[in-house]
Amino acid sequence: MSKYHFAVFIGRFQPLHIGHQHVIREALKQAERVIVLIGSSNIARDFANPFTFEERKEMIHRVFRHEMATERLIVEPLEDNLYNDSAWIASVQRTITDIILEYGNNHGFHTSGINDFKVALAGFGKDATGFYLKRFPEWESIQIGSQFGTFNASNIRAAYFQPLPLIPTRGLDDQVAGFLEEYMLTEEFKRRVYEQQYLIDYRKTYGKGPFLTADACVTQSGHVLLIRRGKEYGHGLLALPGGFVNENEQIRDASVRELKEETKISDRKGEIPPSMLASFITGSELFDHPKRSLRGRIVTTAYRFVLPDSKELFTVKGSDDAEHADWYRLGDLEPQVFFEDHWSILQKMIGF
């Protein structure tokens, strides 16, 4: 008889490797069902997160076909919330509760909640990625030792995303290796190869920082002003207007300058002067997560601009580093199309 009704394993699986598989298999020995939550499921592809939720679920399915078919292994997405740990914890709790209520009674109606079920969190307890094991004291813990040395998914990505890619078969199941062989033929693979070289060259040229930037979070009548990146790195992704602070420039002034340069924001009288734009600022917030950018340590201050409600939104036009600038309805936005952490900044600044 299993010790637990459910075990929970949280990870990004970029890609799934034999260390992850070891945790899942050990958890399956101790629990009737294992829930795998795939993190970073709501962000755009980049070198650190090259595979979508569906692609990572496919990797797991190729290795654990029987377990998923018999519903002993349940795989669900988990969204990041970079600047709100409490929201992330609440999301985990809600997701696990919903899954337990659905599967714990064989998809039937359930009225007694989850208190009748024994739940445990599984993971590498001594690894930095196992931080979440301490975030949920209401559940027990299954700490599983690593059996496969010191490699991690970062090492695999570094070897794989190259012009002459290496698939480290000693660290991957044959099924996952086969998936990566197929993936090499896609345009997304080529983009990640470019990104890895770009990041290497960027750090050689500019160092790892810290660097200082300013962003503008501008809303008007239920819309937010966004640019579409024109630069090759992150090309086509949505972002807040912004950029690096000049040597002799105040951060607030940099935010106004970048807003003007990238959007040419105008009212009926023409381009709005800096002093008037600055008058719309209602607040600011620092965003300094150490891993908010793959380019290096980039600290940004975002300024909140609230423009007067109007039937006709101020006119904008992409310029400078922006391929395009436009107003977007707040209710239409999806996180997967945003550059770096700009979705998380937007969430924090306007209270999504």
What local confidence, expressed as pLDDT, does residue 149 receive?
Answer: 62
User: Above pLDDT 90, what percent of the chain?
Assistant: 83
Q: 211-350: which CATH number, 3.30.360.10, 2.40.50.1020, 3.90.79.10, 3.20.20.80?
A: 3.90.79.10
pLDDT at position 153 over 90: yes
Express each pLDDT in 291-338 by its tens digit.
999 999 999 999 999 999 988 999 999 987 789 999 999 999 999 999
CA angle 7, 13, 18 (to 5 degrees): 80
What local confidence, expressed as pLDDT, does residue 112 receive?
Answer: 60
Is residue 210 reached through a cis peptide bond, with omega within 30 degrees of 0 on the bond before it? yes
Express each pLDDT in 12-30 by its tens digit.
999 999 999 999 999 999 9
Where along the chain do its domains lie? 4-183, 211-350
pLDDT at position 130 over 90: no
What local confidence, expressed as pLDDT, does residue 66 receive?
Answer: 98
pTM: 0.91
Q: Where does the pLDDT of residue 2 fall: very low under 50, low under 70, confident under 90, or very high at 90 and above?
A: confident
Q: Which residues are CB-contacts of 180 (< 8 A; sequence separation ≥ 6)?
A: 15, 160, 167, 172
Strand-pairing partners, residue 283, are 304
Question: Same CATH topology for 4-183 and 211-350?
Answer: no
Whole-angstrom Cα distance, residue 27 to residue 112? 25
- Closest Cα partner for 302 from 267, 247, 342? 342
Q: Where does the pLDDT of residue 40 fall: very low under 50, low under 70, confident under 90, or very high at 90 and above?
A: very high
Express each pLDDT in 78-127 by its tens digit.
999 999 999 999 999 999 999 999 887 765 555 566 778 999 999 875 55
Element of type H or E holding 274? helix 274-279
Whole-angstrom Cα distance, residue 261 to residue 76? 42
CATH of domain 4-183: 3.40.50.620
What local confidence, expressed as pLDDT, does residue 146 receive?
Answer: 66
What local confidence, expressed as pLDDT, does residue 95 receive?
Answer: 96
pLDDT at position 212 over 80: yes
